[in-house]
Structure 1
Amino acid sequence: MQATKEISFEEIKSLMNDKYYLLFVDYNDSLDEHADKLQEALETGTTEPIMGLIDWSFDEILSLDNEKKELKEKIQKKFDITEEEADGLMEKYECEIQDYIYNHDESTPIKDLFRNTSKQVVFYDTGYEMESESWSWSDEEILEEVERIKKIFNVTTSKYDENIRVMITQATYGGQLVVYFYEKIDDLLPEDPEKDFTKVDFKDASIAIIDVYGGSGDHTELIEHSFSLPFKRKNLTIDKTIKYNYTYSVCGLMSDWCSNTIVKLSHEKAEGEIKESRMNAHKAKEAKYNEVFAQGKCSAGDMDINRHRGVYYRNEYPCGNKCPHCGTFWID
């Protein structure tokens, strides 16, 4: 039996593991139900919104206690001492033991959560907005719009002219010109948030004109064509975070409908400039409406009937639903 006062931390450290995993993520745990936080991560280029979503403190403390319990058993066996004597050593070197375990903790809970999370339908806004009422345009006006869109995507042949023309005439309410793709959100985050991507390359892209305010649009594909755009992080949006989103609300498409799009982000220099998406103003307004509703109030002009209380039907001309609090009216 070795006297406990002679046992050093270096001797105890020899019994400790080279690696520890204090936090465990079950394969059923994911971020699929937290699209809003995934969008925040996408907009900020960091995982901070995800880290703030989950309280790991209990699991971490439990794992630490289990590791310390195993270490105490090793100490008892190695030095042939009593449980009380082992407790004394654990208390004496408590700070050193905990620091060692934390410094050798290789658990990656955020990375594991992202690994378990499904790909998301994302669109990249080119910053260009097509005007509405394309149904009334002349052939010449439609041709001019085709050329504008081709220029944005660096299309120099007539191969896609007809498909782009149809997209324009179908998207009669106009809207944002965007590129759709199906990707893991963590693949769109930079290793260093201070050094974000500067260029985005697309190949075989699904492009669309979408009106997120009224819920309409149309899309086509540029198969066998590649193009590049300057990268602006604020122009990335997870489709399902938009109320009248194109994929689900407007078209009822499967999530992988745009999986043909190949996207690559890089730090290479990009030519030209790109405007910030008008979608950001829309998202800010939606966030304000949600904040007001959470406070038990409503906003005049907010056309989402679910963000109003006590709505009743007015059965006289003009007929429709009316909010008794702010006066917002939905005409039949």
Structure 2
Amino acid sequence: MSRRSPTLQGFELMFRQPSLGLAEVAWRWSFGFAAVIVSLLAVREYLNTLSVTNRDLLLLRTRQPTLVSEAIARIFHGSAPRAVIAFIVLTVGLALIWVWIASVGRTVTLRRILELFRDSSAQSGMRLGAMAELHFMRVAVSIGAVLAGIAAFLISARISTPQNPSPGSVVLIFFTLLFFIGAAWSFLNWVLSLSSIFVVTEGRNGFRAVSRAVSFLRDHSGAVLVTGTWFGLSHLTLFVVTSSMVAFPLAFAQILPPAMVLGGVLLILLLYFAAADFLYVGRLTSLVAILEAPPIIDLASVSPSSQPVLPSTREESGKVDQDELILGDRPE
């Protein structure tokens, strides 16, 4: 018996259950807006700590590049420690908020998806602690990727020296290292994201969920590759269409007010992010469909000895009872 395509199930859910996509948009955008507001407030508080003298204002009003740069250097002189401390506090705070919101949002979304494939009474508890472990791992992987990028820049910068300048080699080595760092970060982040499925479906903790995700990729590599390819192509198509649409309001930049042009660009970007969230929910549904699909039994691999043997009636019908009298043996 043929099974339904998991990819088709994912795309179908995007249109038949739009509430799931809207829920994904809700928790992602709530964190995004909160992060933007908190970041703007932090920048404003940092700028309020800077002292601007009348001389600095006079230099800024001259609009001469040399004088303006001198004024900016005087204004920001000695403020680097405060900026670093503010950045660290802001990063840690946003990371903690993201771990909490993402844990709740991902758990709720996966439980709702799982209800489409199994009875809700068979599900485990919320297990927010295990989900938070995975998101802490994702934060650690992201921080490691940033530090690796800084290390790649420092390593590539040592290639070029004042005695032997080689800017081309620096750029080539830096972007090569950056490519491998980005690829490693993307793969690890995707595996950790996949592991969240097994926290909800099988009630595993953080590290066991990661191990189960690796086993899942090994056992269902073909189906996962097909699903990822189709949703990746869909996302690429969405990106190309969005890029073309962004060029439309920019073409009227000389005619329309800047606020209208900026508003049009932001609206298109928000629609793109919303559609990308819907695609993510669809791909998540396809992965759950692969996991919950019944196994396919290959009849060709079943040994003949394991098949039931029906009793043969040919030998029974060919036997003759020696004690039974036949017509030729009947006495006269």
Which TM class, normalised by the smaller chain length? Answer: under 0.3
Normalized per residue, which structure has more strand?
1
* TM-score, normalising length: structure 1: 0.27
* TM-score, normalising length: structure 2: 0.27
Bigger Rg, which one: 2
Bigger relative contact order, structure 1 or 2, given CA contacts below 8 A and separation 6+?
2
Normalized per residue, which structure has more helix?
2
